[in-house]
Chain A
Amino acid sequence: MSQVLRIILQRIALGILTLFIVSIVIFTAVNMLPGDFAQAILGQGATPEAIESIRRDLGLDQPPIQRYFAWLAGAVQGDLGTSFAQANFSSFVGADSGGSDVTVATQIAPRFANTMFLAGVTACIAVPFSIMLGVLAALYRNSAFDRAANIFTLSSISSPEFFLAYVLILFLAVLNPVLPSLSNIYDGMEFGERLQKTLLPALTLTLVVTAHMMRMTRAAIINLLASPYIEMARLKGLSPLRVIVKHALPNALAPIINVVALNLAYLITGVVVVEVVFVYPGIGQLFVDGVKTRDIPLVQACCLIFAGAYILLNLTADILSILSNPRLRHPK
């Protein structure tokens, strides 16, 4: 057991190191911006004094390394800085409106919860559905069902998310008004209503990720079907379904867990486009808005959160596949 613990700790340390380096990459990339933020906020006609005072206020007059560690220390404590678009710089121009700054953290927190809700609903639909389809496709391999499933999944993997989204909107929202095409979610909504409004984006994401998970499940099971112990189970006279569910599936679990986690990680990038299509108030939409208005602290923070979630899910996949495979648990 201690060895397993050591491997897991090793992986976690590696994950934290990766996140640290990624944060350096993000910070460096943002610092390659021409000019500086103060100039960007105030525009061309700004007086040098105003620029200077904003620079001092944002800490832009310090050297990059110092700024990086200040940003990192803040980010670790949950303080991601102040959003430019929402920042209150009126005091610099002499008109004090008395409002307070909107920090990036307060902007992101509710939206992050919304995105997690969307990803959660998607995972609840997609994971059981795709594993079931994968087992069925492996069971009836090379039949008409398998071929139809193959063509269908290949098509839905390769379609852009917005194509699937608009097709679903066309059929389920416009022609047959079953589900709302706009997901205007707000706080204090009832769970049922919230679920109903989330269902269409969740279905779109399900279509995108199901295909990949199903194909991997099918491939992982079929890979095992040639092994001697499966032959043995077959010769014992077990039914094909029992051979697959009882004998092949447990051994195929490692690659399946891996691909499920990878697809959940993919969900994080997939949500950006889908959230924009359905105007879902999630972190992806916030990110795209930030990109369009060049709201640097916001973009930086969203990027860090996306990368963190991505690394975390990959790490989970890694650890789970080590735990589920005795051969990896006891390396030579």
Chain B
Amino acid sequence: MSVILWILAALAAISLSGWVFRLAGQKITGNSPRFRDMPFAVAFGYALAAAAVLGGVWLWFQPGATFFRWAVQGFVIFAIAAWLFRLLGRAVGTAGTRKLFRQMPLTASFGILVILIYAVLSIFAGVIAPYGQAEVFDQVNALPGGNAATGGNPDHLLGTDQIGRDLLSRLIYGAQNTVGIAFVTTCIAFFLGGSLGFLAATLQGWLDQVLSRAVDVLMAIPSLIFALLLMTIASAWAGSEKWLLTVYMVLIIAVIDSTRVFRLARAVGLNIVVMDYIEAAKLRGEGLRYLIFKEILPNAYAPLLAEFGLRFCFVFLTIASLSFLGVGIQPPLADWGTMVRDLAQFINFAAFSPLTAALPLMAAGAIALLTVAVNFVVDWMLHRTSGLKD
């Protein structure tokens, strides 16, 4: 009850300070239009923002607010890095890329920077990671921090897990496995959905009808639920061969997600096949393959690229969720979803050892960071191509 009273009191105080702020602005600036025409809601917004900043500063100096300080530091570091990266992009490169970077919002350059970092991590995971992903050491459950006095081990910066594998290495290998598998899955989904979608759009007739109705039915089942159902069956098929289950998972998710790609590819394709240049190509006597690859595909490039980004996010999140639920990527492959599940109980130690509690959040945050980054880039691309300015 007292919580609600506190919130009400804070709201009243903020409203009052907003009103005072507007009045003071009117008096000091001699009724300038900026303050004279300011609605109360805007004044309230300024007061709320000021209160939020003050609250943040107060929280920063609280002794227990380690996580808040980390979050703010992370945010600032990434913002500066994105800004520097944009500066670099504006200075280096061809005229085209320089122009691209000049018009880029900070969120998009942040996205591109993060995607580049993940790409490097996942390609060179074997070189960057200090140990192998399945290498087992003697000391189990070493605490992170590398301080031997507090139960850590200087050889393992982030500690070891319950059977003694180095967590930092597994986190880095997770980039290779989780991102790599999601990327392969998305590529298969695109190949499948894209080619069938274009085929349906070009040929139309019964093929289009059959494919479209089949896709309608598959899309009527929620994708995560359908994936879980099929994984049940796949796990019976795979038996004790864990790697086979991962292969099945890739295929299952690729098929489920290809239905969404099919929809888009067909819709885009239908808009293109009615164009005059397609008619001309048909009259020239070009074959189906030429029509799809040389005429339709180049013109469907922009929406498909944006869809690829979004689809990758969905696939990535689905795989992470499946792994988190325990039916996705199988051990000994290191993967972030499984890591979150295995390390989740450490979150209860947050008051005593913040770094230990941060372990599951690091793995989950690694997933979140990449999807956020891809979404920022896609958002910017859509904004740029749609010409939506207001």
Contact = CB atoms under 8 A, between A and B. Distances in A.
Interface of A: 18-19, 21-22, 25-26, 29-30, 32-35, 40, 140-142, 144-145, 151, 154-155, 157-163, 166-167, 169-171, 174-175, 178, 222, 225-226, 239, 241, 265-266, 268-269, 272-273, 276-277, 287-288, 290-292, 294, 296, 299, 302-303, 306-307, 310-311, 314
B344 interface: yes
Contacts of A291: 228-229, 231-232, 325, 327
Contacts of A167: 361
Chain A interface main SS type: helix
B45 interface: yes
Interface residues of B toward A: which range? 35 or more
B306 to A, nearest CB: 14
B218 A166 contact: no
Contacts of B221: 22, 25-26, 303, 306-307, 310
Closest 10 CB pairs of A and B: A163-B364, A158-B371, A159-B368, A269-B222, A158-B375, A174-B350, A269-B224, A306-B225, A163-B368, A307-B221
A277 B321 CA distance: 11
A272 B357 contact: no
A151 B232 contact: no
A266 B225 CA distance: 11
B201 interface: no
A315 to B, nearest CB: 10
B232 A273 contact: no
B237 A34 contact: yes
Contact of B225 (A225, A239, A287): A287
A222 B375 CA distance: 21
A40, A159, A290 pick with most chain B CB within 10 angstroms: A159
Contacts of B337: 160
B390 A162 contact: no
Given A158-B368, A273-B325, A163 B361 contact: yes
A160 B372 contact: no
A40 B233 CA distance: 12
A25 B256 CA distance: 13
A166 B372 contact: no
A45 B340 CA distance: 37
B376 interface: yes
Contacts of A158: 313, 317, 368, 371-372, 374-375
A140 B367 CA distance: 32
Contacts of A302: 225
9 contacts: A144-B49, A154-B372, A158-B374, A167-B361, A171-B67, A175-B351, A273-B321, A294-B236, A311-B220
B326 A163 contact: no
B154 interface: no
B29 interface: no
A226 B388 CA distance: 12
A166, A241, A290 pick with most chain B CB within 10 angstroms: A166
Contacts of B371: 158-160
A151 B317 contact: no
A19 to B, nearest CB: 8
Interface in B54-113: 64, 67, 107
A220 to B, nearest CB: 13
Interface in B311-352: 313, 317, 320-321, 324-327, 337, 340, 344, 347-348, 350-351
B230 interface: yes
Contacts of A40: 236
B225 A307 contact: yes
B357 to A, nearest CB: 7
Contacts of A239: 39
A168 B374 CA distance: 24
Contacts of A32: 233
B223 A269 contact: yes
Nearest to B357: A170
A166 B343 CA distance: 11
Contacts of B317: 158, 160
A21 B344 CA distance: 39
A160 B368 contact: yes
Given A18-B216, A158-B368, A166-B364, A33 B375 contact: no
